[in-house]
């Protein structure tokens, strides 16, 4: 259906994401997730509205300071960072991933192994 | 963004309550607003792209045209960034004159924000009283700088015009008038039973949410965030003995009252400045050099950051501006408006965070 | 010259409904238009009423150089205003793009490419009194004997 007044915003969102500070932030998030810049930009443009894109930099900064203090497992996968500060993953999906990792650690696998598995699952959830 | 229901009520881009064009798409279930989405792009001028590769003499004028309402602080922060890069000292008289211009601008901006809020909740009488008081403040800004809106008052190493003794006397008389009028308007706002019904407990933002979205300025101070006023760290304000206003309710009423209280504080600061104004030159010298730095100042809406990289001729190679409205609008749309009980409260809640779209998009 | 036309002229000269649209400025002109509402300038003594509804406006104040979102929407707004209508450009931006008409900009001034402009008030920003006098001098020129001129 062709909505009156609705316009394709992708070009404008791309313009926001390619200014100096936003480009750095996108690069930092992509490195944290282990994906490419262009792929992450595509996801961001599809999921976020324009004001959230403008605020990406300060949310990322506050996330680095305040999210997941203390719990190494949660910090490793960005439990609060990617659900509440930068809402790329649904809270329920994140909770499932977190529970899965806790189960793996309970069963006796190394924390590094569990973290690698968890990060892969988060990346999958972000890019889906 | 993901849709949960299919009823979305668009507000804007042209809306009687909004000074500037922005579009809010509210997803509603009955009267309740589930979530809101902001559509921008109506004011995107690409000013950071224009600034790149230009000499500071040009970027100075471009910097104030990022936002017309708080043009003085944009000018001040850009100039102070250039001074930090090139180690230029400011004469003490010029530093005090800068504070006077900045506080006058802050008073005008806060009155305009409160005018918009009163206009939005249809309290037109108080709105018009406030707008009339704002004219007196703008007269004084014109008396000091020669212009009402885009003043271009500050330059590296000083200010352009001096404050003459007779002008200072006239300014003090006008400030007394503004203060008396504002006391009356604040009383009207604080004690109005219908204003309280529209404002108290509406659009509540908790302290945790305020920190998560990095809100700044009166919006954060109304939610009880301590130590978020950069004037506490500015050397001239420190000399003047500045303290921060904080309220804890976090609703529309608190946000407007914080602005009212800050107006009185600003008037006191201007009085102190005129009282202690040291003698001496208003312009030192200096040469803009190469360097790279990030500097922040307190705009009427909150923390304003300029990150600038220059070359040896004083040309701006790279610039990034982070304005307070970026954070405040985002927090407003995604935490205050979410789960609002009525679609009628959306406009007033949005205006209460003092959104400046020109700042937000640049 | 009919009596009906005379009555229409008399009514129209004392009842001017104004709508303003910001198509991408620094909002300095925006707040100067708002300042016109202040009791100091008292615009209602001239019969000017400011509200932001293009469907019942006579005068459209255009502020700012044109940003990408407004390229198609500005024309829509202009078409929604009932005849007789007039557009006044406020500030330097709609005339030339002011400081934004440089290399790397996203704006596409002037506004005249999108809608017909009857009068311009240059200034960055113009004073409220100048905006007022521009509206008062251009509106009667366009609205006087409108039906006669149509024939």
In a domain, A128, yes or no: yes
Percentage of chain B beyond pLDDT 70 is: 98
Q: Quick one: CA dihedral C9, C15, C21, C27, positive or negative?
A: positive
Burial label for B177, CB within 10 Å (0-12, 13-18, 19+), is exposed
- Determine how many CB atoms are found less than 10 A away from the CB of residue A14: 14
Q: Are residues A49 and A75 in the same domain?
A: no
Q: What is the domain range of residue C59?
A: 18-143
Q: Are residues A61 and A71 in the same domain?
A: no
Q: Are residues A88 and A102 in the same domain?
A: yes
- Number of domains present in the structure of chain C: 1
Residue of C24, C31, C124 with shortest CB distance to B43: C24
Task: Give the pLDDT band (50/70/90) at residue A4.
Answer: low
In a domain, C12, yes or no: no
Q: What is the pLDDT of residue B7?
A: 67
In a domain, B66, yes or no: yes
In a domain, C132, yes or no: yes
**Which tens digits make up the pLDDT trace of A17-62?**
888 888 888 888 888 888 888 888 888 888 888 888 888 888 888 8
Binary contact (A59, B214; C-beta < 8 A):
yes
- Number of domains present in the structure of chain A: 2
Over range A89-104, report the average pLDDT.
Answer: 81
Over range B114-125, report the average pLDDT.
Answer: 88
Q: Quick one: CA dihedral C35, B99, B155, B84, positive or negative?
A: negative
In a domain, C97, yes or no: yes
Could you give the CA distance from residue B76 to residue B260 in angstroms, rounded to a whole number? 23
Candidates A19, A55, A81, partner chain B, best to mutate (most B CBs within 10 A): A55
Q: What is the pLDDT of residue A126?
A: 79
Q: Are residues A33 and A87 in the same domain?
A: no
Q: Are residues A75 and A117 in the same domain?
A: yes
In a domain, B52, yes or no: yes
**Distance from the Cα of residue B161 to its chain's centroid:** 24
DSSP state letters, A46-113: HHS-HHHHHTHHHHHHHHHHHSS-S-HHHHHHTTTIIIIIS--S-HHHHHHHHHHHHHHHHHT--HHH
pTM for the structure as a whole:
0.88
In a domain, B3, yes or no: no
In a domain, A93, yes or no: yes
In a domain, A89, yes or no: yes
Q: Are residues A61 and A73 in the same domain?
A: no
**Which tens digits make up the pLDDT trace of B193-242?**
888 888 888 888 888 888 877 888 888 888 888 888 888 888 888 888 88
Q: What is the domain range of residue A44?
A: 8-66
Using the Cβ of A15 and the Cβ atoms of chain C, whether some distance falls under 8 Å is answered with: yes
In a domain, C5, yes or no: no
Q: What is the pLDDT of residue A22?
A: 87
Over range B158-168, report the average pLDDT.
Answer: 87
**Which tens digits make up the pLDDT trace of B254-287?**
888 889 999 998 999 898 888 888 888 888 878 8
In a domain, B323, yes or no: yes
Q: Where is the domain boundary, A18, A46, A66?
A: A66
Binary contact (B148, C34; C-beta < 8 A):
no
Q: Are residues A51 and A82 in the same domain?
A: no
* Alpha-helix runs per DSSP H in C14-145: 28-35, 70-80, 93-96, 128-143
Angle at B22 (CA atoms; ends B19, B28), nearest 5 degrees = 115
Task: Give the pLDDT band (50/70/90) at residue A1.
Answer: very low
In a domain, A2, yes or no: no
Q: What is the domain range of residue B240?
A: 8-361
Over range B39-67, report the average pLDDT.
Answer: 86
In a domain, A1, yes or no: no
The neighbouring-strand residues paired with C120 are C89
**Which tens digits make up the pLDDT trace of B313-341?**
888 888 888 888 888 888 888 878 777 77
Nearest CA-CA partner of B340 in B211, B252, B209, B259: B252
Candidates A23, A26, A51, A84, partner chain B, best to mutate (most B CBs within 10 A): A51
- Number of domains present in the structure of chain B: 1
CATH number of the domain where residue B16 is located: 1.10.645.10
CATH number of the domain where residue C125 is located: 3.40.50.12280
Candidates B15, B21, B178, B300, partner chain C, best to mutate (most C CBs within 10 A): B21
Task: Give the pLDDT band (50/70/90) at residue B3.
Answer: low
In a domain, B213, yes or no: yes
In a domain, B1, yes or no: no
Q: Are residues A122 and A96 in the same domain?
A: yes
Chain A closest CA to B201's CA: distance in Å? 24
Subunit partners of chain C (3 or more CB pairs within 8 A): A, B
């Amino acid at each position: 259906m062709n909505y009156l007044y609705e316009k394709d915003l992708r070009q404008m969102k791309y313009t926001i994401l390619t200014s100096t500070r936003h480009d750095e932030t996108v690069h930092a998030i992509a490195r944290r997730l282990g994906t490419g810049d262009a792929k992450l930009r595509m996801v961001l443009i599809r999921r976020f509205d324009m004001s959230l894109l403008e605020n990406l930099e300060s949310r990322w900064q506050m996330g680095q300071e305040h999210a997941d203090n203390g719990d190494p497992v949660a910090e490793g996968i960005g439990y609060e960072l990617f659900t509440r500060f930068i809402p790329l993953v649904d809270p329920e999906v994140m909770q499932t991933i977190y529970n899965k990792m806790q189960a793996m650690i309970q069963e006796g696998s190394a924390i590094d192994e569990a973290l690698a598995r968890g990060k892969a699952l988060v990346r999958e959830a972000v890019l889906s | 963004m993901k849709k949960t229901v299919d009823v979305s009520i668009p507000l804007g881009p042209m809306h009687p309550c909004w000074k500037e064009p922005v579009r809010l798409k509210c997803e509603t279930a009955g009267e309740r607003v589930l979530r809101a989405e902001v559509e921008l792009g109506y004011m995107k001028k690409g000013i950071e792209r224009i600034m790149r590769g230009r000499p500071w003499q040009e970027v100075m004028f471009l910097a104030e045209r990022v936002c017309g309402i708080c043009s003085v602080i944009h000018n001040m922060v850009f100039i102070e960034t250039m001074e930090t890069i090139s180690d230029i000292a400011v004469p003490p008289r010029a530093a005090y004159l800068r504070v006077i211009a900045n506080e006058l601008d802050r008073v005008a901006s806060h009155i305009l924000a409160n005018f918009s809020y009163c206009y939005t909740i249809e309290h037109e009488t108080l709105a018009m009283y406030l707008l009339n008081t704002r004219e007196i403040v703008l007269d004084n800004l014109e008396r000091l700088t020669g212009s009402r809106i885009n003043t271009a008052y500050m330059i590296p190493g000083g200010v352009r015009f001096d404050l003459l003794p007779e002008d200072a006397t006239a300014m003090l008389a006008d400030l007394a008038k503004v203060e008396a009028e504002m006391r009356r308007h604040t009383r009207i706002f604080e004690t109005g039973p219908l204003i309280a019904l529209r404002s108290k407990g509406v659009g509540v933002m908790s302290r945790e949410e305020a920190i998560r979205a990095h809100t700044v300025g009166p919006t954060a101070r109304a939610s009880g965030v301590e130590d978020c006023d950069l004037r506490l760290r500015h050397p001239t304000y420190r000399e003047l003995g500045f303290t921060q206003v904080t309220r804890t309710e976090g609703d529309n009423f608190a946000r407007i009252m914080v602005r009212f209280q800050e107006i009185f504080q600003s008037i006191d600061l201007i009085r102190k400045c005129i009282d202690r104004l040291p003698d001496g030159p208003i312009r030192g010298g200096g040469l803009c050099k190469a360097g790279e730095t990030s500097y922040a100042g307190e705009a009427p809406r909150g923390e304003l950051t300029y990150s600038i990289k220059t070359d040896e001729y004083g040309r701006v190679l790279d610039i990034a501006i982070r304005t307070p409205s970026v954070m405040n609008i985002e927090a407003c749309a995604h935490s205050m408006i979410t789960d609002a009980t009525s679609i009628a409260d959306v406009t007033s809640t949005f205006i209460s965070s003092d959104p400046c779209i020109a700042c937000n998009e640049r | 010259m009919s009596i009906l036309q005379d009555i229409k002229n008399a009514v129209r000269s004392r009842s001017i409904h104004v709508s303003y649209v910001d198509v991408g400025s620094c909002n300095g002109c925006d707040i100067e238009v708002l300042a016109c509402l202040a009791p100091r300038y008292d615009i209602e003594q001239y019969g000017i009423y400011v509200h932001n509804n293009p469907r019942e406006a006579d005068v459209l104040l255009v502020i700012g150089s044109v940003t990408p979102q407004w390229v198609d929407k500005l024309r829509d707004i202009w078409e929604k205003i009932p005849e007789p209508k007039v557009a006044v450009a406020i500030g330097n931006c709609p005339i030339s793009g002011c400081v934004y008409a440089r290399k790397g900009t996203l704006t596409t001034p002037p506004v005249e490419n999108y809608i017909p402009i009857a009068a311009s008030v240059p200034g960055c920003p113009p004073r409220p009194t100048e905006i007022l006098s521009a509206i008062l001098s251009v509106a009667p020129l366009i609205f006087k004997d409108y039906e006669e001129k149509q024939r």
